[in-house]
Amino acid sequence: MPPTASPFWRRPPAEPARKPVATVPRFYFSPNACSLGVHIAFEEVGAPYQAIAVRVSEGEQKLPAFLEINPMGRVPAALIDGRLLTECGAVLTYLALRHPEAGLLPLGDPYLAAKATEWISWFASTVHISFAQIWRSERFTGDPTLAPVWRPMHRSG
């Protein structure tokens, strides 16, 4: 099926060049969402950060104020020194490299570091998207009348 005008297929617009300015990272998450793993990693490294809730259950990821930060309208998102970083794996990798003392990735062993990345990729590309077919079924059927059939299985997130 060719890409359509659906927001699901929309490519994010190119990011404007931003001059890095050292700040406390801003971390955008939603309760009960896949951002939880990144949230745990922010806590694990123990460095200051600001957590900002964007409630997907309330549709807050579609609000213009958030789309201005992350045009893809998804969490997790992080502003690192004013620059946007999205995708669980990318933010986890950033935290591991930025805070090696936290031991989030076995950086001294390329095989083991890649093995950890293998798990992160599997969760992000296989496990997570399987759940999307249940909770966001309308995106896959293209038939909005089917949404009420699945809605009882949806949970807040």
Distance in Å, CB of 141 to ligand GSH, minimum: 15
Answer yes or no whether residue 39 interacts with ligand GSH by CB under 6 A: no
Answer yes or no whether residue 52 interacts with ligand GSH by CB under 6 A: no
Answer yes or no whether residue 41 interacts with ligand GSH by CB under 6 A: no
List the x/- string, 94-133, binding to ligand GSH by CB under 6 A: ------------------------------x---x-----
Answer yes or no whether residue 85 interacts with ligand GSH by CB under 6 A: no
**Residue that is written with structure tokens 């997790």 in the block:** 76
Answer yes or no whether residue 79 interacts with ligand GSH by CB under 6 A: no
- DSSP codes, the chain: ----S-GGGPPPPPPPP--------EEEE-TTSTTHHHHHHHHHH----EEEE--GGGTGGGSHHHHHH-TT--S-EEEETTEEEESHHHHHHHHHHH-GGG-SS-TT-HHHHHHHHHHHHHIIIIIHHHHHHHHTTHHHH--GGGHHHHGGG----
Q: Which span (26-34, 39-47, 95-103, 109-117) binds ligand GSH, by CB under 6 A?
A: 26-34
Answer yes or no whether residue 69 interacts with ligand GSH by CB under 6 A: no
Residues that bind ligand GSH in the complex, under the rule CB under 6 A: 30, 33-34, 56, 61, 73-76, 87-88, 124, 128
